[in-house]
């Protein structure tokens, strides 16, 4: 089986499974990002390549990957877990600008100031919802990247492109698929080039699905107009609204209206809580202004404890009912992914 660009095209692009994470970009001269998609410019004759090896939608044996990353296998529901709690940034600047409790922004700022990392890769919005990776080195840059877009973008391309300053360590904030890609980069048998060895911190974001940029924007321009989108959020059950803040006010749409724009590649994703991160962060449904935080590694636990000790963040135990719901939701995503993969294999068998 070809494990180069030809194999990537057959097993990911042609099956519409690409989630535009950016893991393959700026490695191969034949791949480019365009309007939230990865496009192929030319064929490549390599039988084995980093584009295939790093892609989170090509084959992966999760148990060995977890052992290499953490020294042990993780829980069935949520992967490697040391501690689960709820937390928020103490400084209101992070809570006001960032999503939920502002923990991600506060931790990245703390890691930069303490020289645990020299730079970080975050995902700001460009125009409208379109996301991409940006290298940040200070508080102002972090604030400019705060908030969620719900649209996947090629964040990891920034890791390959740089530029990086000497031996500085890098932090990356990304979706579960991007955290998985980083884990594959560290362990892939192909020759390693670029900046993966510089990555010293991975903060993963909870994700149920991400939206496809082009078709979503056509829909939204018809529904809410052509104005610039300032902020967006999805409210928890039972309301479940997709809220879009624009210059002319706040627009609300039922979440079911945007489901048709979920990327197909999200349907086969098993990971809701970014299991290959040092720290995973999500919202606490029903408790405004707090984040759910999962500490997974020595690096993540050490950073969190130091930040809490210096008053950067505060934490509380996650209520038992919220913890149970989190486990159930994470397991449900895995079950949906298994069912989707089985359905695809059955369909391909019939058509083949």
pLDDT in tens, 213-241: 888 888 988 998 887 777 788 887 777 89
127 pLDDT more than 70: no
Query: Do 196 and 318 belong to one domain?
Result: yes
Regarding predicted confidence, which is higher, 327 or 187?
327
Nearest to 17 by CA among 60, 55, 54: 55
Count of Cβ atoms closer than 10 Å to residue 325 Cβ:
14
Query: For the chain, what is the mean pLDDT?
Result: 89
Residues 184 and 329 in one domain: yes
Has residue 295 got a pLDDT over 90? yes
Question: What pLDDT was estimated at residue 237?
Answer: 74
Domain around 299: 5-60+78-212+262-351
Shared-domain flag, residues 135 and 248: no
- 3-state SS, residue 50: helix
What's the first-to-final CA gap in the chain, in angstroms?
A: 17
Distance CA 294, CA 41 (A): 40
Closest to 34 measured CA to CA, from 20, 46, 48: 20
At 142 the pLDDT is 92
Task: Give the per-residue pLDDT at 319.
Answer: 97
User: Apex CA 329: angle with CA 56 and CA 266, to 5°?
Assistant: 30
Task: Indicate if 130 and 103 belong to the same structural domain.
Answer: yes
Query: Do 195 and 56 sit in the same domain of this protein?
Result: yes
Query: What is the phi-psi region of residue 304: left when phi exceeds 0, alpha when psi lies from -120 to 50, beta otherwise?
Result: alpha
Q: Is 66 inside a domain boundary?
A: no
In this predicted model, what pLDDT tens digit does every residue of 14-51 receive, in sequence order?
999 999 999 999 888 899 988 888 999 999 988 999 99
Whole-structure pTM value: 0.93
234 plus 335 within the same structural domain: no
pLDDT given for residue 349 in this prediction: 65
Distance CA 2, CA 87 (A): 45
Alpha helices in 207-319 (DSSP H): 213-224, 298-309
Q: What is the mean pLDDT of residues 305-334?
A: 96
How big is the chain by its Cα radius of gyration, in Å? 19
Domain count, the chain: 2
> Residue 180: pLDDT above 90?
yes
Question: Is residue 26 a part of any domain in this protein?
Answer: yes
Are residues 245 and 318 both part of a single domain?
no
Cα separations in angstroms, 104 against 145, 216, 221, 328 = 11, 27, 30, 24
Whether residues 241 and 344 share a domain: the answer is no
């Amino acid at each position: 089986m070809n494990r180069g660009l030809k194999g990537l095209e057959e097993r990911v692009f042609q099956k519409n499974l690409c989630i535009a994470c950016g893991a393959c970009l700026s490695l191969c001269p034949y791949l480019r990002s365009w309007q939230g998609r990865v496009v192929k410019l030319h064929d490549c004759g390599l039988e084995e390549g980093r584009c295939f090896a790093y892609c989170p939608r090509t084959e992966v044996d999760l148990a060995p990957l977890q052992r290499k990353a953490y020294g042990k296998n993780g829980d069935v529901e949520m992967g490697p877990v040391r501690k689960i709690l709820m937390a928020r940034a103490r400084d209101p600047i992070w809570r006001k600008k960032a999503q939920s409790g502002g923990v991600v922004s506060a931790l990245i700022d703390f890691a930069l100031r303490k020289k645990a990392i020299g730079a970080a890769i975050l995902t700001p919005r460009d125009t409208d919802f379109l996301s991409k990776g940006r290298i940040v080195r200070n508080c102002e840059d972090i604030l400019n990247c705060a908030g969620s877009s719900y649209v996947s973008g090629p964040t990891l391309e920034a890791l390959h492109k740089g530029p990086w300053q000497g031996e500085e360590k890098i932090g990356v904030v990304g979706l579960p698929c991007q955290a998985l890609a980083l884990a594959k980069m560290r362990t892939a048998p192909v020759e390693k080039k670029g900046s993966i060895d510089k990555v010293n911190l991975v903060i993963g974001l909870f994700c149920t699905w991400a939206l496809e940029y082009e078709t979503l924007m056509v829909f939204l321009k018809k529904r809410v107009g052509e104005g610039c989108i300032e902020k967006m959020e999805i409210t928890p059950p039972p309301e479940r609204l997709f809220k879009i803040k624009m210059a002319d006010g706040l627009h609300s749409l039922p979440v079911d209206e945007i489901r048709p724009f979920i990327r197909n590649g999200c349907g086969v994703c098993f990971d809701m809580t970014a299991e290959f991160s040092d720290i995973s962060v999500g919202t606490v449904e029903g408790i405004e202004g707090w984040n759910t935080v999962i500490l997974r590694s020595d690096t993540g636990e050490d950073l969190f404890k130091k930040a809490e000790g210096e008053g950067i963040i505060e934490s509380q135990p996650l209520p038992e009912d919220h913890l149970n719901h989190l486990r159930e939701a994470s397991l449900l995503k895995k079950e949906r992914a298994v069912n989707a993969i089985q359905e695809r294999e059955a369909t391909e068998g019939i058509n083949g």
